[in-house]
A and B are shown apart, each in its own frame.
Chain A
């Protein structure tokens, strides 16, 4: 079965980094930064007050008996689907608003970029108490917190992809929609969503992979004295680590493998293959993604029944919603109204910024000394060095391998699903091995814990390089062969330049993800053994465990700042250089 094509990032499905950021830093970036960190501060502040009374919560104890695993797997899957539904809702509203309103977009798009760089596990520490307080004394609150945490690992890049699609709907399709008087609702479901769907599905698939990485952390939550384990694979793994149970770890790995495979084969492959037919470019030839599951569904007419039901729904709702036509006389009145609402918007944004600043001041300035800040920046620098060194090392390994694989379709078919599984592999599962090695040979945890950071993210480099290599036109390769270009010369003049733009895209994702993973990776435990590296990730993890919200906010704010700054000042430059210089065609 040739299904490899489906999993590769292609020209149309990948989110173009920095497409929105033509200028380095704008006023709106700063406003967005203040607001996002302000929200974190508000949540943390609220959590601080609520923490104690909620500490005692009765949850069913977890069992390490493998017979419970199917149930745990089902619950985890359900949680991920709930988060996915939330992410879709967020995508359809937030991204649509950002794309349709010039004014709102100015703030919402940079805000999305900042949200993307807020560590996912940071969200858990500041939101869990809030969610628990919504439903006091019940497990439901923790469920909500876990689902929200998974949501934060999925939503941002889905929203970005949708936003980008909405902004690039071909002009003539928009004109057709207007000429034939499609209502805004009808246009959304019949023109914009179908156009955006291929990219959205691809990004959803990537988000799901990323979500698994954080499942352990989101199901087994410990903030200060609040400690809850939700029944699920994540908690199972956490308990296995706590009890040093290697068998259980093995069972967990097997279960995850099965679940990820099922997801892939039963959900995403069919979706990707189905959605390929909706693509706007209609050039013939090329591999079209296939899926046995889709073929089965097509033959059973399940799919056509579903799509018909969906379109009937769209049609019904379009009929139910009255058409709004704006007579020309109202256009002028609207101008004045828009001026007024612009003023209101400006005031609202200013107020938000003021409140955010107040909370940030309260959480950071009042709660920590200058020494704390210096310490945190120092730790952030340590983590930064780690991330850059790891990206460099991973590049040295995966670029040549990626090129080699990308030029061989048969190998690609084989490698792709394995890499995809590895990308979803939670770092915690490797804790036993790493800790055993470090303790046994008394290694330096500052160095040897680091590889865990890039465990899940290095694959983005591989994926993208494979995609780049397989996109090298055959004629270019033949020309190189014809001229006898080989060895190092071939790498220097043919392969590396051709995959460079793809590599940069992958490296950007890998870099952002590694910062995120630092919170898991810089602090590893195995039963009572606890190893810690010096870094911002360990700092946030420590602060979370201690329930110290001042330090949590300081850590999250610093990490977000670092990630945004590195993106804007380093990756952005490299990305535009690569696009200008090496983009084929």
Chain B
């Protein structure tokens, strides 16, 4: 039945040139097929290249290798028939709701009477009637995103691309918009034939999508594909729904630990590990939560995520940092504190700092490296640029900056070494 796919992505690879002439690989070997009547989810953490892929499909950028075809035609530049909804809404503050919606039709040189009819129809469909003459600043976030939807639908696209469309909204508003969208979709009242949804929210993916492509990082690639067989409307509390959510967590943590293992087993990549910016408060907070009842040292990640109201984008980096420092083991969708982790959770403020310093210098190669350099030098100081240059052999400038910042904040907490941001110099001023 899926004779001709709406959209086909074959062997797509995307890399960006780095300042030093090298290349930074963002996406590799991505294959994707969107058939009529399908909602496909791209699920992954930030930096997994899913938004980049969406921009390639939209024709806003072109792949370094591979091919993207829409209705059999290669995508070169924005195609008619592919519309997009943005995370930040991206509606024009100087245009009214009506003018925002009508803009795309004006660009297509549709006759004015037709513009009016179709715009009002789209506004009506998406539940914005009465707001036609309002300016965006007068609208709530949810209403603004509805304008984003109306604007995308008014050009009668075949494919709707959604880039985390609900993540800038509060929980209740997001849920209302999701349900409204699914109602319209299931009743076939929208002109669209297929949807690609980028998200980092596992439950959202399971709620809305027919198929979920789970993305991994470094470089961004599709790790696994999960089909959601549940009929719409879906119920979040349904056991089969929960089971799917759990399965995706397992899938994603399995990958995460694998990636970490790789960096540990290859000493050459040791200091080249990209470190997430996770504050020491978050690290101790998660350890305390897992150590305390009802978890008592081991917890189910989906459970923790919903208890702490954290998205995977926030939770996973914390869990993985704990795993890297041997405070916890993360596998099979669970997190289990190690003995050191439990000791840390039960320790006093000063003891915690000591434990943290030990783990940091033992298991974070970059921290150990900086400390070693500072110890060896008679002046006990080193410039930031020295380490930045080193890191840039492994990662982009931006990531190197972030990695260094992460290590600085942990080292400050551990009092392992000091850093003067004004002078951009590391020192042993207040060593442990």
Stretch at the interface among A78-86, A178-186, A365-373: A178-186
Stretch at the interface among B17-25, B84-92, B215-223, B378-386: B84-92
- Asked, given contacts A176-B86, A180-B104, whether A190 binds B92 with beta carbons under 8 Å apart, the answer is yes
Q: Determine which residue in B60, B93, B155 has the highest number of CB atoms from chain A within 10 A of its CB, and name it.
A: B93
- CB nearest neighbor in B for A314: B106
- Asked, given contacts A172-B86, A172-B88, A282-B136, whether A181 binds B108 with beta carbons under 8 Å apart, the answer is yes
Counting CB contacts under 8 A, is A475 at the interface? no
Whether A179 pairs with B84 at a CB distance below 8 angstroms is yes
List 7 tightest A-B contacts by C-beta distance, closest first: A172-B90, A278-B94, A180-B104, A194-B94, A328-B76, A282-B137, A182-B107
Counting CB contacts under 8 A, is B80 at the interface? yes
Counting CB contacts under 8 A, is B340 at the interface? no
Residues in A with CB closer than 8 Å to B59 are: 179
- Asked, given contacts A277-B135, A282-B93, whether A190 binds B103 with beta carbons under 8 Å apart, the answer is yes
Residues in A with CB closer than 8 Å to B93 are: 277-280, 282
The answer, among B78, B94, B106, for a CB contact under 8 Å with A179, is B78
Counting CB contacts under 8 A, is B189 at the interface? no
- CB nearest neighbor in A for B108: A181
A-B contact pairs, 18 of them (CB 8 A): A173-B92, A175-B55, A175-B60, A176-B84, A176-B90, A176-B92, A179-B82, A180-B78, A180-B83, A183-B107, A191-B92, A197-B94, A278-B93, A279-B137, A282-B137, A323-B109, A580-B422, A581-B422
Whether B422 pairs with A181 at a CB distance below 8 angstroms is no
- CB nearest neighbor in A for B161: A179
The answer, among A173, A179, A277, for a CB contact under 8 Å with B58, is A179
The answer, among A180, A195, A328, for a CB contact under 8 Å with B107, is A180
Distance in angstroms between the alpha carbons of A176 and B422 in the assembled complex: 39
A residues bordering B, Cβ < 8 Å? 170, 172-173, 175-176, 178-183, 186, 190-191, 194-195, 197, 277-280, 282, 284, 315, 318-319, 323, 326, 328, 580-581
Q: How many residues of B contact A (CB 8 A)?
A: 31
Residues in B133-162 with C-beta less than 8 Å from chain A: 135-137, 151, 155
Residues in B54-78 with C-beta less than 8 Å from chain A: 55, 58-60, 74, 76-78
Interchain pairs with CB closer than 8 A, number: 76
Whether A181 pairs with B106 at a CB distance below 8 angstroms is no
Distance in angstroms between the alpha carbons of A170 and B77 in the assembled complex: 19
Whether B103 pairs with A182 at a CB distance below 8 angstroms is yes
> Given contacts A182-B107, A190-B103, A279-B137, could you give 9 more A-B pairs where the C-beta distance is less than 8 Å?
A173-B90, A175-B58, A176-B92, A179-B60, A180-B107, A186-B107, A277-B135, A323-B109, A326-B77
Distance in angstroms between the alpha carbons of A175 and B88 in the assembled complex: 12
Q: Determine which residue in A180, A194, A278 has the highest number of CB atoms from chain B within 10 A of its CB, and name it.
A: A180
The answer, among B90, B103, B135, B155, for a CB contact under 8 Å with A175, is B90
Residues in A with CB closer than 8 Å to B58 are: 175, 179
Residues in A with CB closer than 8 Å to B60 are: 175, 178-179
Distance in angstroms between the alpha carbons of A323 and B88 in the assembled complex: 29
- A201 → chain B, closest Cβ, in Å? 13
Residues in A with CB closer than 8 Å to B90 are: 170, 172-173, 175-176
Whether A179 pairs with B103 at a CB distance below 8 angstroms is no
Residues in B with CB closer than 8 Å to A284 are: 137
Residues in B with CB closer than 8 Å to A581 are: 422
- CB nearest neighbor in A for B76: A328
Distance in angstroms between the alpha carbons of A318 and B93 in the assembled complex: 21
Distance in angstroms between the alpha carbons of A284 and B139 in the assembled complex: 10
Whether B106 pairs with A194 at a CB distance below 8 angstroms is no
Residues in B100-137 with C-beta less than 8 Å from chain A: 103-104, 106-109, 135-137
- CB nearest neighbor in B for A278: B94
Residues in A with CB closer than 8 Å to B76 are: 328
- CB nearest neighbor in B for A280: B93
Residues in A with CB closer than 8 Å to B107 are: 180-183, 186, 318
Q: Determine which residue in B109, B135, B155, B422 has the highest number of CB atoms from chain A within 10 A of its CB, and name it.
A: B109
- CB nearest neighbor in B for A172: B90
Residues in A with CB closer than 8 Å to B55 are: 175
- CB nearest neighbor in A for B99: A311
- CB nearest neighbor in A for B136: A282
- B164 → chain A, closest Cβ, in Å? 12
Distance in angstroms between the alpha carbons of A181 and B60 in the assembled complex: 11
Distance in angstroms between the alpha carbons of A43 and B266 in the assembled complex: 69
Distance in angstroms between the alpha carbons of A372 and B358 in the assembled complex: 71
Residues in B with CB closer than 8 Å to A194 are: 92, 94
Distance in angstroms between the alpha carbons of A282 and B109 in the assembled complex: 30
- A510 → chain B, closest Cβ, in Å? 27
Distance in angstroms between the alpha carbons of A280 and B135 in the assembled complex: 12
Distance in angstroms between the alpha carbons of A92 and B90 in the assembled complex: 24
- B278 → chain A, closest Cβ, in Å? 23
Distance in angstroms between the alpha carbons of A149 and B106 in the assembled complex: 41
Residues in A with CB closer than 8 Å to B135 are: 277
Distance in angstroms between the alpha carbons of A324 and B205 in the assembled complex: 39
- CB nearest neighbor in B for A281: B93
